Structure 1
Amino acid sequence: MTSLTPKQSPVESWDRLPSDWHNDERMDALFAFFKDRELNPVHYDAKMKFWSETIINYCEDHGILQIDISTIVSRFRRKGKTSKCLDKIFEELIKQRRLISTNDYTYSQQSSWVSWTFNKLTSPLTSLMSTKIPVDQDIFVIKELVDKKAQQVIESLQSHVCVATFDCVISYGSFIDACRRCALIDENSINLIISTLVRDKKILIDYVGETKNVKVVKFIAPGTPTVRPITEIENSVLLLRHSKDRLEEQLKKSDEQMEGLLTDIRRHLKNSNRTAAMKLLRKKKILEREYEKKDRTVEHLNTVLTQIEQTDCSSLVINAYSSGVQAHKELLRKNGLTPDAVEDMIDEVHDMLDTQNEIDDAITRPLANDTTDMTELEIELEELLRQPIPPTPAVTTVPNANDISNISIPNEAIKIPEEDPFADLELRLQKLGVKEPTPNKLADVASSSH
């Protein structure tokens, strides 16, 4: 019995499937024919944006660089329905140069002067003789995805570069593996990437070996704009690696053969067929001797390759030292730093410090009109130090201010000391060198003063 359930569309398992895809009402409007933009420009632009971004994103995630309307219609089928507006979407993408006809893209990839001249001369005639392919029958290249994927392939290759001198040359098979790691499964898509990278001079394809039977790809080294031809060093290293890889493959096959012979020998011994077992054992011994020779050769090749890598690293170190020395010399020359200049500067600094010390001494020197004799000042200071210190008068404790109003002091207790005009007379007479006056003289002086 035939199932009535519509077959699931390939897009249903896509991780970045738009959320509107599960909205029946919304998708019915998006699957319908386009109406005139003047009627509803907002809906028209939103519908155009939805389909443009969905198609480009789907092709990017699935490594599809060439598309046509019939393939997209089949991939974006929903519940047995197909979109009726994809031809309009393709026309808009072509107008925006996001989609380019395969014939036009191939023509634009031709970079040689002869091809360019020939096509320039024949293009008017060709355009008249050829008929334009309808949109629904043509195959288009998504240019923005081709450029993006090409850059991803280059970055993937450069991420495995350890020694830029010869790590930028790889076998053609390794290059194809790098393309597949970037989600490029289709052979046509890989060929588009190759033609784009060759046109942009980011890779070159060549054959090496004595008989030119080894197909290799050289890509741009990190930090360089274009790829350079394969050098003799790269050619030699590549042949060494190729020989080592072939020997390792032979060792792997020999190992499998020896395992198979050992199984057969055991089987013959189990069947008591010693003659056949002995014959196979001799063959196994021959394979073991050949295996040992090849294994030693592989070790020697690994040693040679390691020495080459170390030599290249040493060369990089020497070049780095040389660049550093040149930069240092240029910096010294630019700033005028020489041993003589530094010595002169140090002498100037010392002279400046000596001058500053002289200035400080001049500032602290006494003024000329200051005639004070320091000796007299010292003698007077010593005399003051020898004089006795007068006793400190007793401090009378004053009662609390809050209680002073309650204290009654008799008038007889309050006495104001009379000033004695002759209190310091004795001291002054001693300083003047006069003898102490007698009590009679003191009385006469006192009476005369009255």
Structure 2
Amino acid sequence: MAGERSKKYLPSFWQDDSAMQGYMSVIKSRAVNPIDHDRKIKFWTDLIASSCEVERNAVISLDLLKRRFQRGDQVPASLNVVLEHLDRCGVLMPLSKWKEQHSSWMDWSFSKLSKTSEWLFGSSKSETCEKYIHLPTIKIQADLLMNLYSKEFQSEVDGTGSVVAYSTFYDSARDIVHTKENFDVILAHLSERGDVIVGQGRNGEQILKFRDTTSAGPVTFTETDASVHDIRRAMSKVEKEISVLEKKIEKLDVDCRASLRSGDKTRAANLLRQKKRAQKDISDKDGQYQRLLTMLQQLGSTKHNKEVLDAYKAGTAAFKATLARHGLTPDKIDETMDEVANSIDDYREIEEAMGIPIVPKSYDEEELEKELDDLISKQQPLPTPASGSPRKQVVPSLPEVPTNTLGYRELDDDETMNLEKRLQRLRSAM
């Protein structure tokens, strides 16, 4: 397996002695030959990075690299120069320096993790044994672990996927991380990023709490998270017990049938009674499992209910702030609606007033009749002729014959001119 894995990061000319002779030799100072120096430094830098990814281990040492890049009985002569260069560039970090920077995290979390990680507390015996952390590989492995969590753990139907046992997660990450010391460094890096926090259960077992994507605050480990872990642990134990009982029932059933075939009814009855007890135990343990599952689901639903309640509170606060910003209050709204109703009433009154027809002033018919009778009574009657004497024809006096032809008086010159002007205006108007 190691040979197959090595082929993935070793160059194609690795077995070519003439091509590898220069890389395996001592790297001269950059002041002597900068081109050759940079070429060899880049070669070993890329090769170390590739080997860390393929070997799934970002914790390296000079001794480890010599064994990893040994060609027969020949080892690279200048790997120490390469490590010093990578340390100056920030690609590598000595483990001792890393422990100083993460002392507070180690005091509370890291010291509770892998008890066998003696490298955390021991000192390097020699320069060749000093360990370094390849930081780019740590970042890559951290992203891979978060992808693993998203695929296998985050989508738990009970809503408690953010809580994962340390041992469970490490077992699932074997294809990403080769050693526990590397795994612990990655957890420290994820903790710095705010993606995970390490807690402890009531039985002392280490528990990982991952960031919830729906939560904006920092990751915190609570008693509820410890309870979730303990419930899962109990459920796992019950599952194993049920599995053992099922296998026992299968064996009892086979033995019972064999006893019947051999004619040993007493033993067969005894085995049958054991089978019935085992079946009852399975039924009881299944009830225990269902109760534990219900408790786990209730814990998950409590979390979701709190999130919904927080959303309600946030929405209510935002709504109130919007109303206050726009000056909207119930009193102002009622006042405005009353004004609108009054305006509508005034408009209707105006419409009704505009719709009343205009009727001329009526007169009292009785007064008109009375006035007409008064006029008739005041009019003098016409003289009537005597009945015996013959009626004398009265010739009315005629007016004098006019002197002008048309029977009109002669007009003055001014009046004539005025008439002509008026006639001319009438014609022009027509």
Q: TM-score range by the shorter chain?
A: 0.5 to 0.7
State yes or no: 1:146 paired with 2:131.
no
1:207-222 equivalent positions in 2, closer than 5 A = 207-208=201-202, 212=203, 214-222=205-213
- Mapped to 2, the partners of 1:177 and 1:224 lie a distance apart of 29
Displacement of 1:87 after TM fit? Answer: 2.3
**Conserved 8 A contact 1:169-1:219:** yes
2:285 to 291, 294, 297: 294
Partner of 1:76: 69
Partner residue of 2:318? Answer: 327
The within-5 A match list for 1:119-134 is: 134=126
> Could you say which residue in structure 1 is the equivalent of 2:366?
none
Letter in 1 for 2:141: K
Structure-2 residue corresponding to 1:436: none
1:150 Cα offset (Å): 4.0
- 8 Å CA contact 2:124–2:130 kept in 1: the answer is no
Letter in 1 for 2:220: R
State the SS of the aligned residue for 1:111. Answer: helix
Show the 5 A alignment for 1:210-289: 212=203, 214-222=205-213, 223=215, 226-231=218-223, 233-289=224-280
* Gaps in structure 2 of 5+ consecutive residues: 109-122, 348-426
In 2, Cα distance between the equivalents of 1:265 and 1:132? 64
- After TM superposition, the score normalised by the length of structure 1 is 0.60
TM-score normalised to the size of structure 2? Answer: 0.62
Root mean square deviation, CA, Å: 4.0
**1:167-178 paired onto structure 2 within 5 Å:** 167-178=161-172
Distance in 2 of aligned mates of 1:205 and 1:55: 34
Seen in structure 2, the aligned counterparts of structure 1 residues 114 and 296 have a Cα distance that, compared at 3 Å, is closer
Q: Which runs of 5+ in 1 are unaligned?
A: 1-7, 116-130, 355-431, 433-450
Measured against aligned partners, the alpha-carbon deviations of 1:63-115 in whole angstroms (never above 9, x if no partner) come to 21221223222322447654333222122123334333334433443228999
* Amino acid of the structure 2 residue aligned with 1:207: G
User: Contact 1:68/1:138 (CA < 8 Å) preserved in 2?
Assistant: yes
Match of 2:91 in 1: 98
- Residue 36 (str. 1) matches residue 29 (str. 2): yes
C-alpha distance in structure 1 between counterparts of 2:146 and 2:217, whole Å = 12
Number of the residue aligned with 1:303: 294
What amino acid does structure 2 have at the position aligned with 1:184?
V
Task: Read off the aligned partner of 2:165 and give its amino acid letter.
Answer: S
Letter paired with 1:171: A
**Secondary structure of the equivalent of 1:141?**
strand
Letter in 2 for 1:322: K
Match of 1:411 in 2: none
2:250, 2:64 → 1: CA distance?
50
Instruction: Kindly provide the amino acid, as one letter, of the partner of residue 48 in structure 2.
Output: I
* Mean CA deviation greater in 274-283 or 304-313: 304-313
Quote the residue 1:49 is aligned against.
42
Q: Deviations over 1:239-269 (max 9, x none)?
A: 3333222211211111111112222223333
CA shift at 1:281, angstroms? 1.7
1:180 matched to which residue of 2?
Answer: 174
Contact 1:172 1:216 in 2 (8 A): yes
Name the amino acid aligned to 2:238. Answer: L
Structure 1 residues 214 and 44: CA distance shift in structure 2, 3 A = closer
Other-structure match for 1:398: none
Is 2:60–2:133's contact at 8 Å kept on the other side of the alignment?
Answer: yes
Closer, same or farther in 2 for the Cα pair 1:45/1:337, shift >3 Å?
A: farther
Question: Matches of 2:54 and 2:217 in 1, distance apart?
Answer: 28
CA distance in 2: counterparts of 1:52 and 1:225, whole angstroms: 39
Partner of 2:385: none
Identity of aligned residues (%): 23
Q: Secondary structure at the match of 2:198?
A: strand
State the one-letter code of the partner of 1:293.
D
1:79–1:235 CA distance, 2 compared to 1 (3 A): closer
Letter in 2 for 1:99: L
Supply the distance in 1 between the matched residues of 2:169 and 2:26 (Cα, whole angstroms): 44
Q: How far apart are 1:288 and its partner, in Å?
A: 0.5
In 2, Cα distance between equivalents of 1:225 and 1:308:
20
Indicate the SS of the match to 1:49.
Answer: helix
Equivalenced residues, count: 324
Give 1:394's aligned residue: none
Cα separation, partners in 2 of 1:101 and 1:214, compared to 1, 3 Å: closer
Deviations 1:347-394, CA, capped at 9 Å, x for gaps: 7xx9xxx9xxxxxxxxxxxxxxxxxxxxxxxxxxxxxxxxxxxxxxxx
In structure 2, relative to structure 1, the CA distance for the partners of 1:109 and 1:180 (3 Å cut) is: same
Stretch of structure 1 that moved more, 286-295 or 266-275:
266-275
1:301, distance to aligned residue in structure 2 (A): 2.8
Determine the C-alpha separation between the residues in 1 that align with 2:59 and 2:147: 22
Of 302, 305, 315, 1:314 maps to 305
Residue 60 of structure 1 corresponds to: 53
- Quickly say closer, same or farther: Cα 1:225–1:31, change in 2 above 3 A: farther
Secondary structure at the residue paired with 1:36? Answer: coil
